[in-house]
Each structure stands twice: as structure tokens, then as C-alpha cells.
Structure 1
Amino acid sequence: MHDRLAPLYSQHLATLRERADKALALGGFDHLVIAAGTPLRKFLDDQDYPFVANPHFRHWLPLTDTPGSWIVHTPGHKPKLIFLQPQDYWHVVPAAPNGYWVEHFDIEIVRNANDAVSLLPGEHTRRAIIGPECPSVPGAQANNPQPVLDYLHWHRSYKTSYELELMREASRIGARAHRAAEQAFRAGESEFGIHMAYLAAARQIDAELPYASIVGLNEHGAVLHYTHFDRTAPAQSRSFLIDAGASAAGYASDITRSYAAYGHSEFQALIDSVDAAQQAFVAKVRAGQSYAELHIHAHHVLANVLREHGIIRMNPESAVASGVTSAFFPHGLGHPIGLQVHDVAGFQQTEHGGTIARPQGHPYLRMTRVLEPGMVVTIEPGLYFIDMLLDELRDKPAANDIDWAKVDFFRSYGGIRIEDDVVCTNGVPENLTRDAFALI
């Protein structure tokens, strides 16, 4: 893996330096200073929450657990890493920098946070400091200038070859863990037991995953962000929805699969229909495709799925216009993904900022941009049987065109979501998720 990454990293860093030079010029700054960040302290406690490094820091370096460190980029100069390696017997001290990337940085190792700050460009210089505002670092408080962020976020949408290789690895880890989770479900494990099987196969602890895993059996599949983890298996496991990812050097995968227990053929048939629709949406991840329009298209296709399975009796146009599809598919089709699960700039109009509004009536869509080569997005359609939304639907005129007996039958299965991470290319899209599963 490292042999493959070394030449890709060199090109990646050259791209980041070029982008940083332009961002600094736009904002009128001489230095880009990027904080790894420091852990957040728990309220009324002397312990911290798990540390999550600033994504801007991770963009430059494959370092995810070096709190208090800094990157300094000054146009025309070799980038500098100020690496905090404290004298500490309470925690594991980060190992000295090593690997395929170290030759590209001037590295200074310091023992405390004050020494790190003293090596940054001084407060009298024109410095753009990118980092969290809380907790603040005395002498180096983040200013996060908007013109700089807008430019960097816009261009972060276009993944380098190095980034794509790390995302492929994150997908491979995630797919392996998903297979273990499915096997645990088939063996009758509880949600907690399935989650433990997932972690063991991923070889990552909860804090290392890019987001909190969703592991829902039966009706729990209807809770979009279900993270409860029942410790006891239900008397009968009818269905299983898992939304879980993995990390590779700070890059995320985001994968969702839905399963029917053996013998539950009608729910399996519905899963198969959603899966076929999802793969058709993936095929449309092409340069020039409006993501917002793809989301609307998905509503029409899923309306057909609902109709084919006897759940609704209206045509797709009426189902979408009346809000019926939004009751069964209440979230967006997906989102940008990369250093963050819900990556930045999904609504950004240009590299200078601005916003592309969501389509009216679709408040939870997380991306409205036109797809371009290098972008990576998730495609995650779903159909759910959510009591609150169905109760609201019963009071609408469209309720007459819904087979409520069918709805009641499917309630016990919760819902379906199928999610892949997809790269927009100059031609056929690259499905990171399906490719990873195919390797198993």
C-alpha cells in the first residue's frame, strides 16, 4: 500500500500547494497555518472526548492522532510540520514522523504546545489560520478567512489520485466488515453483537470509524440514525439495516446495506427493486449531471417501485407532487464524501462561495452541485415505513391511493437503504463500494 501511495502523494502535495498559493492570494495572506486541533474537554470533567483531527490538516498529511501539531505553508518554501511529541506518561505519545511523506516537509519536533506556537509565523504577519475555534490556542487563534476556505473547500471536491487510493482502501475495509455483520445477523446475533462483529472485522474501534454505525433489526430500520444497539436479540430477526463505514488515513467510506431474513420473500423482493434502482442512479453519476435533478429523478423511480409492489396506486408524477414519496423516502439521495463523511462544498456555487439552493420540498438533500470528474458522492436511496410520517400521510387526500394493509405488513421490517460511494470520472463512474465487495 505504501509503495503505491508514495508517488501519488508527491503529486497530491504539489496540487495542495498550488491550491493554497491561489487561496492565499485571494484572501490577501502570506501564510497558510493549519492546526491539527486539540481534544475537547468534557463538561465538569478532567477527561477529553476522542480526538478528531482538523480535516484540513488530514488533507496534507496522513496523520490522524497528533493533537497540537501544525502545518505551515508559505508560497515558494517547503511546507513545515511542527510536530508535538509531548513528554507524557498518561497517554501514548505520537511516534516520530516517518513514512513516504516525511521527505516533503521540514519537520520540527517540540515538547509542548507553547513551543509549537512560537514556531508559527508571528501575529504581526498576514496569516490565515485554519482550525477549530474551540478550544482556542493562545497566540494562534483560528481566523478561518472565508475567501480562503471557499477556495479550498471548492477544490477539495476534486479528489487527487492519492485521495482516491485511500478511499478505495477505506471501502475495502468497510466491505469486509459489512460481510462479517451480515454473517452475524444470519447467525441470530443482537444489534450489539453485530456491531462487535463489524468492529472486529474492520479492526477499528468506534472512535476510529468515520461516523457512529447504524445497526437496526426489524422496525429499528425505520429510524434513520438508529444508534441504540439492543443487547438482546429479538425473538425473530426479520430484517437488518446497517449503515457503517471505515477509515483509511483520515479518509472515509460510507456503506449501507439492507437484508431480509431467509423466508421473508416479499421484503426481499422490495430490497431487490430498491437495489436495481440504486444501481441505475449510480450509472448516472456522470460529468454534467445535476445532483439535485438526480435526487428528483430518484423520487420518480422509487414511486414506481412503490406502485409495482402494490403499496401505492397513483402514478409517479402524482406521488412526487403530493409528497407521498417524501413520506417513504424522507432524506436526500446522498452527499459528497472524502475527508469527512458529509464533505464540504456540496451546495457551493463557485470557488468564491455562494449557495445553490435545494429543490423546494426537499430540505434534507445534502448536495446541489453539478457533478464533475474527480468528485466522489454517495448514492443512497431508501424506502421506509416510519410511523410518524405515515400517520401524517393518512390525513392527506392521497391516503386514498395507498394500500394501508400493505403498509402495515411492511412496518415490521422497518425500511431499506442501499448506499455506495461513487467516483465521477470522464466516463463510466467508479463504484468504490461494489468494487470492494467484489474483491471479497
Structure 2
Amino acid sequence: MKDLYKKHLSKVLNTFDRLMNKYQYDEVVLYSGEIKTVHLDDNTYPFKAYFNFKYFAPILDYPNSLIIYKSGEKPKLILFRQEDYWHSQPKDIEGFWIEFFDITYYKDINKIFDNLSTNLSKTAFLGEDTKRFEKLHFKSFNDKKILDFIHFNRSYKSEYEVSSIRKANELASYAHKTAQQSFLDGNSELQSHLKYLEAIAFKENEVPYPNIVAYDENSAILHYMDYSTKKIDSKSFLLDAGASCNGYHSDITRTFVKDGHNEFKALIQAVDKCNLNIISKIKIGMNYEELQEQMHKDVSQILVDFKLMNISYDEIYEQGYSKIFSPTGVGHYLGLQVHDVGNFISDENGSVIERSKEHPYLRLRRDIEASNVFTIEPGVYIIEQLLRPHMGNKKFNWDNINALKPYGGVRIEDNIYVGENQIENLTRPYFKEIDESSNII
């Protein structure tokens, strides 16, 4: 991992060297961020480090800290750790990567400015919280040109980044299996959520996004996070949950069903087949939106096969009826953020790609290139809000729709790495050993 990280940091520093040369900066300061306090309260929100700060190194729990980089020099890492018996403080950092930084600690937040250069006229500041620094004379605060340059280049993942995402997939896959067993054992949504966290020893604020733990009709709420505490005789379970490694994330969805619900089990298998078919179409140079169209072609066929509509495949696809049952985008970039940056930037200058008029919820419109990592997540849902305007329309088979409605919906989501010579599914290998009889796909 050390050698991979060394190459990764070299790539990061090269990106920053080029942007500083392009926009005439001598130095970049990245701020990790601050702990935010609840309004009129003394409780705080969980700390999340600024994502471009993590781009340099896996430092996740050091608020009020700085990375200072001058072109051609060793990056400086300035870590804040106060003397405080009220609150626990972060431990000394350690790991394979620390030798690549000049590291110092400071303990008085009022001394933070002492770590900065005396002349900031050619220094760029990057970070979520700028209020503390606004009185200083940086050349720019979060210059959009610089951010676009960085975010465009972040879409090309280093081997270290891919390795970290791969490990995050391994962790999440194991936890998925544990949560599935909890569902089969008759536990509540909340209990299955807690079993997931326990399986990988993550605190709730350490997972990359709030877990979607949805039984039955709740699966039709795309971002359902209510975690019912009641034990019910549930039939189906949609779990959208990931894990993190070195600040990089996985984003995996699986749908399960108990024995005896054969029609819905067949629907899960059909969506799984759709997922694999879309992945099989991935080619370097194609536009990602083509995969969105493939999803709607496949979903249109599913609507025919399961007799959810009384019209032909051609009419379903051409009239856009598949969007009622599959309203989401087929996926997005993945990395330091679950919905990673750069989805609508076509070059280092920040040229904008407009959102698709045909698919307004599609999050990624760039051409597929080597070193990209993104998700593929087709789904079929029975969403009452989307179906309501069509009530009474004889093109819809309401008997079959209503029969599937208690199950909510299906989503199958894998994480994909586009290599130079192959497309690697980062998710599926870790599910291979799971017993097929448990209905996990």
C-alpha cells in the first residue's frame, strides 16, 4: 500500500503543481474544517473532514488542521490537538504515509495563523469554513477555477484510491450479509441497521452516508432512513449501505426477499440481470448517458415480462413509461465522496456539461474513461406518487402492480472500476461465497 500511496501523492502534487502554474499561485492551503455547534446549543454535529484535504492523506478526525503545499516542496501537515479534559482529542497519526509530510502539532486555536506564510498574496485557500480566515489576505478563497481543475482530475483514480474503494466494498459486503440475516431472523429495521454497524465496527457517523434500511413498502421511498423499531412480519428488504477505507467509500445496494414470495424473487433476479447487462455494455469512450438508456431498455422489457403494463415494449420505451417505475439515474462517480465530484465538468477549465433534459436525475454525463470509478444501480419500484396520475389508465396492469406494491421495489447496485484493459466489478467478488439459498443477489 505504501508504494501505491507514494504514486497517488505524486499524482496529487502534480495536479496542484499544474494548477498553480496555470493560475499563478505559489502556494495552496487546505483547511480540514471545523466542528459545528447546534444552533443555540452546546452539542456538536459529527465532524467530516474537507474532502480535498483527504485527497492528500487519510486524515479523518483532525478539525482545525492545515495542509500547506508549495510547488516542489514537501507538503506540510499542521495538526490541531488542544489540551482538554472535557473532550477526547485525536491520537498521534501513524501509518505508511506519514513520511511524505513535514508534520507538526499545535494546541492553541488562536495560534492557527502563526502556521501561515507572512505573505499570502499568491496563496489559494481551499476549505469548507472560511469565516475564520476572511480577515487574511489570501489571493482567493475557494477559487472556482482551482476547484474545477482539481475536481476534474479527481475523476481519474489512482491505484491507491481504487485499492481503498475495493477494501470499502469488502467491508460493506460482509455487513450486508449480516444485516440480511438480521432481516431473516425477524428483527426490526433499526436492529438490522445496528447489526450492519456492528459487523464492521463502525459508529453511525463513520459510514459514508446514512444507511437505507427499508422493509416492504418502505423500499419504494428511494432515500428511506426512518429505521422502524417495530418487529413486523416483513417480506422484502432493500439495503443501500456502504463502508469507508482511507476516506474512500463504497456504495452498495441489495434487495432480499423471504422464501415463498416467488414473483418478487423473480423481479429481484430480473433487476440483477439488468445490472449485469448494463455493466457488460461499458466501453471506454462511450458517454455514460448511454448506460442510462440501456437501463430504460432493460426496465421496459421487465415491465413486459412481469405484465406490469398491457402495451408493447416499443411503446413502453418510446413513451417513457419505464421512468415511472425507474425514475432515478443509473449511477454516479464514487470516491472521496459517495456522489463524487466532476460529473458535469468536461475539462480542466471547468467547461460545464448541462444536465440531461431526458434524464434530469442522471448525475453523470461525461464520457467513460480509464481510471473512472462509478456505480451502476438500476431499480424497479412501485411508487404510488408516480403512479397516481395514471390511475384508471388501461395501459397499466393494475392487478399485477398492486400485487407487487407491498414489496416496495428492487435496486441492485455495484461499484465499477474502468481499467485500461478490463472493467472490474469491485462489489461482486465479495458476495460470491454467500449462500444463494439465502436469497441474496
Q: Does structure 1 conserve the Cα–Cα contact (< 8 Å) formed by 2:26 and 2:122?
A: yes
Taking only the aligned residue pairs, the percentage that are identical comes to 37
The one-letter amino acid of 1:329's match is: S
**Offset at residue 138 of structure 1 (A):** 5.5
Match runs of 1:27-42 below 5 Å: 27-42=23-38
1:405 lines up with 2:405 in the alignment: no
Q: In the alignment, is the contact (CA less than 8 A) between 1:191 and 1:230 conserved in 2? A: yes
The answer for the alignment partner of 1:208 in structure 2 is 206
Q: Is the alpha carbon distance of 1:322 and 1:310 closer, same or farther for their aligned partners in structure 2, counting shifts above 3 Å?
A: same
Change (3 A) 1:136 1:404: farther
Are the counterparts in 2 of residues 327 and 393 from structure 1 also a CA contact under 8 Å?
Answer: no
Where does structure 1 lack aligned partners over 5 or more consecutive residues? none
Using the alignment, how far apart are the partners of 1:432 and 1:389 within structure 2?
A: 33
Deviation of 1:8 after TM superposition, in Å, equals 0.8
Which of 211, 234, 237 aligns to 1:237? It is: 234
Task: Mark the CA change 1:153 to 1:237 in structure 2 (over 3 Å): closer, same or farther.
Answer: same
Letter in 2 for 1:419: E
> CA deviation digits over 1:147-196, x for unaligned, max 9?
11111100100110111111111111100100001101111111011101
Post-superposition offset of 1:123? 5.1
Alignment deviations for residues 69-115 of structure 1 (CA, whole Å, 9 cap, x no partner): 11011001111101112111222212223221111111121112232
The separation in 2 between residues aligned to 1:231 and 1:329, in whole angstroms, is: 29
**Cα 1:120/1:317, change in 2 over 3 Å:** farther
TM-score (norm 1): 0.95
Q: In the alignment, what sits opposite 2:193?
A: 195
Aligned residue type for 1:59: Y
Q: Kindly provide the CA deviation profile for residues 1-23 of structure 1, in whole angstroms up to 9, marking residues without a partner as x.
A: xxxx1111111111111000011
Structure 1 residues 329 and 135 mapped into 2: Cα distance closer, same or farther (>3 Å)? farther
Structure 2 residue aligned with 1:43: 39
TM-aligned CA distance change 1:134 to 1:42, over 3 Å: farther
Structure 2 residue aligned with 1:24: 20
Secondary structure at 2:360 match in 1: coil
Shift of 1:36: 0.7
Task: In structure 2, give the amino acid aligned to 1:356.
Answer: I
The alignment of Structure 1 onto Structure 2 pairs a total of residues equal to: 432
- Equivalent of residue 410 in structure 2, options 416, 429, 432: 416
Match of 1:311 in 2: 308
Question: Which of 276, 281, 285 in structure 2 is aligned with 1:279?
Answer: 276
Tell me which moved more, 358-367 or 172-181. 358-367
Distance change >3 Å, CA 428–CA 170, structure 1 → 2:
same
Query: Any idea what SS the aligned residue of 2:67 has?
Result: strand
Conserved 8 A contact 2:34-2:129:
no
Please tell me whether residue 341 in structure 1 is matched to residue 338 in structure 2: yes
Give yes or no for contact 2:130–2:141 (8 Å, CA) kept in 1: no
| 1:89 equivalent among 72, 85, 91 | 85
Q: In 1, Cα distance between the equivalents of 2:259 and 2:433?
A: 25
| C-alpha distance in 1 between matches for 2:215 and 2:93 | 43
What CA deviation, in whole Å up to 9, does each residue of 1:355-411 have, x standing for no partner? 22233231111100111111100000000001110102337xxx3221111001110
Partner of 1:288: 285
Q: CA separation in 2, counterparts of 1:288 and 1:419? A: 22
Residue of structure 1 equivalent to 2:437: none
Query: 1:300: how far off?
Result: 1.1
Contact 2:32 2:63 in 1 (8 A): yes
Letter in 1 for 2:244: S
Secondary structure of the residue aligned to 1:82 is strand
Correspondence list, 1:12-411, <5 A: 12-122=8-118, 124-133=120-129, 136-137=132-133, 143-234=141-232, 236-394=233-391, 399-411=393-405
Q: CA deviation at 1:319?
A: 1.7
Counterparts in 2 of 1:281 and 1:310: CA distance versus 1, 3 Å:
same
Q: Say if 1:420 and 1:431, in contact at 8 Å, map to a contact too.
A: yes
- The answer as to whether partners of 2:33 and 2:129 remain within 8 angstroms in 1 is no
In structure 1, C-alpha distance between the alignment counterparts of 2:222 and 2:103, rounded to whole Å: 44
Question: In terms of mean alpha carbon deviation, does 280-289 or 326-335 score higher?
Answer: 280-289
SS in 1 for 2:190: helix
TM-score by length of structure 2 reads 0.95
Cα separation, 2, equivalents of 1:316 and 1:345:
35
Q: Which amino acid is the alignment partner of residue 401 of structure 1?
A: K
Q: Aligned pair in 2 of structure 1 residues 139, 106: CA closer, same or farther (>3 Å)?
A: farther
Paired with 1:309 and 1:201, the residues of 2 have a C-alpha distance of: 36
Residues 25-44 of structure 1: CA distance to partner in whole angstroms, max 9, x if unpaired? 22221111111111122111
Contact 1:251–1:340 (CA under 8 A) maintained in structure 2? yes
Give the aligned residue type for 2:400: K
Q: Partners of 1:254 and 1:355 in 2: how far apart? A: 26
> 2:438 matched to which residue of 1?
none
Q: Distance in 2 between matches of 1:329 and 1:232?
A: 29
Q: Distance in 2 between matches of 1:285 and 1:435?
A: 18
CA offsets 1:227-261 (integer angstroms, 9 cap, x no match): 00110122x21111010111112111100000111
* 1:427 corresponds to which of 421, 431, 435: 421
Alpha carbons of 1:189 and 1:135: their partners in 2 closer, same or farther (altered >3 Å)? Answer: farther
Instruction: For structure 2, list consecutive stretches of 5 or more residues without a partner in the other structure.
Output: 435-441
1:307-363 Cα shifts (integer Å, max 9, x gaps): 011112333342233231111001100100000000001111211112222332311
How far off its partner does 1:135 sit?
A: 5.5
Single out whichever of 257-266 and 355-364 deviates more from structure 2: 355-364
Is the CA contact (8 Å cut-off) linking 2:344 and 2:366 kept in structure 1?
yes
